[in-house]
Amino acid sequence: MKKIAIINGPNLNLLGTREPEIYGKETLADIRKRCEKKARELSVKLDFRQSNHEGELIDWIQEAGREASGLIINPAGFGHSSVAMMDALLAIPIPAVEVHLSNIFRREEFRHHTYTSRAVRGIISGFGGLGYVMALEAVAGK
């Protein structure tokens, strides 16, 4: 069975209460349940994680490169600043998709660019939690 890693960056543990007018009312636990349902439909195994620590996220990206067949990453704020996360993504041999809950291109100008986007197959932005399901379908190859 294929294993897909889903890695979530800083402040995503606050979903549902943090700026719901931008990020919605869905919690990260709600998104995880949605992804687990889709994973069952696609016959893939999920490894779903969240951290507020850049080094831990980089370790998980490297681990996914060794143990998973695909990666979905929401780098959150680190996408706009972390060359190290970009380098980790460039170093892994599996397809990766970047997800953002909000449409980063309709927000502040500094959010229009992510370093991590250089290292992924594609970006899904602006569809809330549904973006994870879309990314799961893309990474699973269905």
Tell me how far apart the alpha carbons of residues 67 and 3 are, in angstroms, rounded to a whole number. Answer: 8
pLDDT computed for residue 142 by the predictor: 57
The yes-or-no answer on residue 100 being catalytic is yes
Q: What is the pTM of this model?
A: 0.92
Catalytic residue among 53, 80, 100, 112: 100
**Which one of 23, 53, 80, 112 is the catalytic residue?**
23
Q: Which pair of tokens denotes residue 77?
A: 């704020």
pLDDT score for 36: 98
C-alpha distances (whole Å) from 48 to each of 55, 61, 83, 107, 108 are: 17, 12, 23, 27, 28
Residue type, 97: V
Provide the pLDDT for residue 1: 66
The 10s digit of each residue's pLDDT in 123-139 is: 999 999 999 999 999 99
* List of the chain residues with pLDDT < 50: none
Distances in Å between the alpha carbon of 99 and those of 1, 6, 74, 87, 129?
23, 10, 5, 18, 9
Q: Which domains, ranges and CATH numbers included, belong to the chain?
A: 2-140 (3.40.50.9100)
